[in-house]
C-alpha cells in the first residue's frame, strides 16, 4: 500500500504478528539467536517482510533487504538483531542522502566511526531510515517525498528528525533503530511514538561525520527502543567498543534506583507556564510515581531566559548556512537551489545577524556552567519532552511560511535543545496516551556523565506505568 492521497490510510498501522520476531524486544531476540533457536538471517528476512507491510508509513529511506549488513563476527550483546541506520550516517555500500533532494548520494565507501561502534553491538542493518532535510525539522516531512507517518495515527507527525527510526520501532518492524539528536531528534520522535530515547552526554560515543567540525558539538548518537532494557543493553554494549575516559562509565543498568533521589521538576518553558492538558498531566503523573517510590520531588524554574533560545536558533541558522555553502563536500552534485524552504529560511536568518556569531557561540558555551550551577544539586530533572502533543501532518511542514513555521517550532520544541547546548544527557520515556490515542512522553535530564541515573529512573517509570504498545 502506498501513501497516495487518493487512497484512504488506516488510522493505526503496525506489523506485529506471529512470525519469528513476535513481540520480542532486542534483548529477547539476541538471546534466541545465542541459544541457536533463530539465525540473524531469519530475523532479517522477517523484519524485511514486516517493513513491506507498513510501507504507507514512508519510514525507510533506503532498503537493503536483499543484502542486509550482517554482523561479521558472532559477538556483541545484540548479535543478530535487525535494525536501521539513520540517513545521515555513513554505512558502507549504502547511500547517505541526508533527507534532501539537493543531491542523490552514491553508496558510501566506508562506515563512519560511529557506525562501527553501532555495529560492534552485533546489530544487523537492513537499510537507512527516513528523516527531514539535514535533520533540521521536528517533523519528518519533506516537499519531495511522502511524509513519514505516525503508526499510532497515520494522519499525525511521528516527530523528527529520527522519525523514520521511531516509526519502524513503534510499528514492530525492528525492536531498535539508530537515531541522533542535535536539538531533540531522538527524544522528540520517541515521545511522539511511545518509545524510549536516550540522548547521551556530549563525548559519550565515537564522534564522526559533520559533528567533528561543529564549533559547538550539539549532536549525540543513540537508539530508539520499545523497552528500557534494550536502551540499557545497547548503551553498555557500545561502551565495550569505546569509552571516553573523561566520563564515568555507565556499565549495565538492570533496574530502578535503590537509593532515594532528589528530583527537580520543570513545568515552565521559556514562554511561561505549561498549559493544562495531556503534556502537563503526564509530567505531574510521573512526579507522583517518583514520590510514591520515596523520592523527593521539588518544582524548579528553568535556569535560562529567551536569550538562550535566540542563540540556539541563530546557531541552527549557522548550520544551515554552512551546509548550503559547503554542500559539495557532501556530494559534488549538490545543488543548493533544491534545498527546502526551512533550510533556506534558516540560512537567511543567520546571514541577517552573521556578525553576531561569536556572541552566539559564547552564549552557547557558557550555558553549561549555568545548567550545572542550577541543577547540579539534583540527581535528575523531570520535565516535558515537548511543549504540546504531536501535531497533524502539515502543521510543521517545510512548506509552511518560514516565520510561521519557526513560531510553531519554538512552541513545540521548547524543552529539548537545552541538553544539546549544555552537552548533558536526557532520556524520553512514554507517559500515557491522549484521548485521541497518541503517545505523550516526558523526559529525565541530568548533569554530564549521569546516564546511569536516567536509565534507573526510566526503569522505575516503566515498572510503575507500563508503556503503551500498538499491538496491545
pLDDT in tens, 106-135: 999 999 999 999 999 999 999 999 999 999
Helix (H, G, I), strand (E, B) or coil at 124: strand
Give residues with Cβ within 8 angstroms of 355, minimum separation 6. Answer: none
In this structure, are residues 199 and 186 in contact, taking their beta carbons and an 8 Å threshold? yes
How far apart are alpha carbons 255 and 228 in whole angstroms? Answer: 9
CA distance 82 to 78: 9
The reply to whether 2 falls in a domain is no
Asked if residue 471 is part of any domain, the answer here is: no
In sequence order, which residues have a C-beta less than 8 Å from that of residue 224 and are 6 or more positions away? 162, 165, 166, 169, 176, 177, 179, 186, 189, 190, 193, 195, 196, 197
Q: How far apart are CA 282 and CA 301, in angstroms?
A: 18
- How many residues does the structure list for the chain? 472
Residue 435: beta bridge partners? Answer: none
Q: Are 72 and 64 in contact (CB under 8 A)?
A: no
What Å distances lie between residue 144 and 6, 417, 452, CA to CA? 18, 27, 41
Q: What is the pLDDT of residue 237?
A: 98
Residues spanned by the domain of 95: 20-464
Element (H, E) at 197: strand 196-199
The pLDDT score that the predictor gives to residue 72 is 84
Q: Number of folded domains in the chain?
A: 1
Asked whether residue 336 carries a pLDDT value surpassing 50, the answer given is yes
> How many Å apart are CA 213 and CA 105, to the nearest integer?
21
Banded pLDDT at 8 (limits 50, 70, 90): low
Q: Which pLDDT score is estimated for 3?
A: 38
- Residue range 432-450: average pLDDT? 97
Domain assignment present for residue 14? The answer is: no
Report pLDDT for 7: 53
What average pLDDT score do residues 311-337 get? 92
2: pLDDT confidence band, cut at 50, 70 and 90?
very low
Supply the CATH number for residue 88's domain: 3.90.1300.10
**3-class SS of residue 77:** coil
Task: Decide: 269 and 414 in contact? Cβ < 8 Å.
Answer: yes
What average pLDDT score do residues 181-205 get? 98
List the one residue out of 398, 470, 466, 447 whose CA is nearest residue 192.
Answer: 470
| Integer Cα distance of 29 and 79 in angstroms | 9
Enumerate the active-site residues: 86, 161, 185
- Phi, psi for residue 33 in degrees, rounded to 5: -70, -45
Q: What is the pLDDT of residue 419?
A: 98
Give a yes or no: residue 321 inside a domain: yes
Residue 100 lies in a domain: yes
Sheet arrangement for strand 82-86: 60-63, 124-129, 82-86
Report if residue 13 sits inside a domain: no
For the chain, give the mean pLDDT: 95
**Four-residue CA torsion sign, 136, 215, 415, 199:** positive
pLDDT of residue 1: 33
Q: Are 188 and 199 in contact (CB under 8 A)?
A: no
Q: What is the separation of C-alpha 57 from the centre of its chain, rounded to a whole number of angstroms?
A: 17
Q: Is residue 470 part of a domain?
A: no
**pLDDT single digits (tens) 46-105:** 999 999 999 999 999 999 999 999 998 898 999 999 999 999 999 999 999 999 999 999
Residue 176 burial class via C-beta count within 10 angstroms: exposed 0-12, middle 13-18, buried 19 and up:
buried
Helices (H), 298-390: 306-326, 341-352, 357-375
Q: How far is the C-alpha of 409 from the C-alpha of 161, rounded, in Å?
A: 13
Cβ–Cβ < 8 Å for 423, 432: no
> Does pLDDT of 149 surpass 70?
yes
What is the C-alpha to C-alpha distance for residues 60 and 434, in angstroms, rounded to an integer?
27
**pLDDT at 328 exceeding the cut of 90:** no
Lowest-pLDDT range, 210-224, 290-304, 385-399? 210-224
- What confidence tens digit (pLDDT) does each residue in 197-237 have? 999 999 999 997 778 889 999 999 999 999 999 999 999 99
Cut 0.85: pTM above it: yes
Residue located via cell numbers 575516559: 245
Residue 82 is assigned to a structural domain of this protein:
yes
Q: What is residue 404's DSSP assignment?
A: H
Amino acid at each position: 500500500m502506498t501513501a497516495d492521497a487518493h487512497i484512504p490510510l488506516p488510522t493505526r498501522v503496525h506489523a506485529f504478528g506471529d512470525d519469528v520476531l513476535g513481540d520480542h524486544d532486542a534483548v529477547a531476540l539476541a538471546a534466541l539467536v545465542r541459544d541457536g533457536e533463530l539465525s540473524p538471517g531469519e530475523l532479517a528476512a522477517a523484519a524485511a517482510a514486516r517493513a513491506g507491510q507498513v510501507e504507507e508509513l514512508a519510514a525507510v529511506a533506503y532498503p537493503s533487504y536483499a543484502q542486509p549488513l550482517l554482523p561479521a563476527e558472532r559477538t556483541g550483546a545484540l548479535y543478530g538483531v535487525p535494525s536501521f541506520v539513520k540517513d545521515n550516517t555513513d554505512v558502507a555500500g549504502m547511500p547517505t542522502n541526508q533527507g534532501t533532494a539537493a543531491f542523490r548520494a552514491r553508496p558510501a565507501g566506508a562506515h563512519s566511526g560511529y557506525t562501527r561502534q553501532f555495529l560492534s553491538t552485533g546489530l544487523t542493518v537492513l537499510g537507512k531510515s527516513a528523516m527531514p532535510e539535514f535533520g533540521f525539522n521536528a517533523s519528518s516531512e519533506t516537499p519531495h517525498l511522502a511524509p513519514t507517518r505516525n503508526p499510532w495515527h497515520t494522519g499525525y507527525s511521528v516527530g523528527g528528525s529520527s522519525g523514520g527510526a521511531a516509526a519502524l520501532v513503534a510499528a514492530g518492524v525492528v525492536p531498535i533503530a539508530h537515531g541522533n539528536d542535535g536539538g531533540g531528534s531522538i527524544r522528540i520522535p520517541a515521545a511522539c511514538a511511545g518509545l524510549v530515547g536516550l540522548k547521551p552526554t556530549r563525548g559519550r560515543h565515537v564522534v564522526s561525520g559533520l559533528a567533528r567540525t561543529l564549533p559547538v558539538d550539539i549532536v549525540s548518537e543513540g537508539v530508539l527502543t520499545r523497552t528500557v532494557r534494550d536502551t540499557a543493553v545497547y548503551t553498555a554494549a557500545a561502551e565495550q567498543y569505546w569509552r571516553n575516559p573523561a566520563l564515568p562509565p555507565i556499565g549495565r543498568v538492570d533496574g530502578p534506583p535503590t537509593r532515594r533521589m532528589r528530583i527537580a521538576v520543570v513545568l515552565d518553558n521559556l514562554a511561561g507556564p505549561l498549559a493544562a492538558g495531556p503534556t502537563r498531566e503526564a509530567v505531574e503523573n510521573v512526579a507522583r510515581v517518583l514520590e510514591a517510590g520515596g523520592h523527593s520531588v521539588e518544582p524548579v524554574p528553568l535556569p535560562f531566559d529567551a536569550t538562550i533560545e535566540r542563540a540556539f536558533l541563530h546557531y541552527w541558522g549557522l548550520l544551515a548556512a554552512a551546509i548550503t555553502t559547503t554542500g559539495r563536500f557532501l556530494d559534488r552534485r549538490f545543488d543548493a537551489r533544491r534545498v527546502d524552504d526551512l533550510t533556506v529560511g534558516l540560512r537567511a536568518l543567520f546571514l541577517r545577524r552573521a556578525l553576531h556569531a561569536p556572541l552566539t557561540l559564547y552564549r552557547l558555551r557558557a550555558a553549561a556552567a549555568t545548567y550545572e550551577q542550577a541543577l547540579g544539586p539534583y540527581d535528575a530533572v523531570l520535565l516535558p519532552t515537548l511543549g504540546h502533543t504531536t501535531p497533524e501532518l502539515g502543521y510543521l511542514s517545510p512548506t509552511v511560511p518560514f516565520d510561521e513555521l519557526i513560531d510553531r517550532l519554538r512552541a513545540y520544541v521548547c524543552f529539548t535543545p537545552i541538553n544539546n547546548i549544555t552537552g548533558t544527557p536526557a532520556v524520553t520515556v512514554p507517559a500515557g496516551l491522549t484521548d485521541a490515542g497518541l503517545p505523550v512522553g516526558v523526559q529525565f535530564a541530568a548533569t554530564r556523565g549521569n546516564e546511569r541515573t536516567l536509565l534507573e529512573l526510566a526503569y522505575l517509570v516503566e515498572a510503575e506505568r507500563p508503556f503503551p504498545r500498538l499491538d496491545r
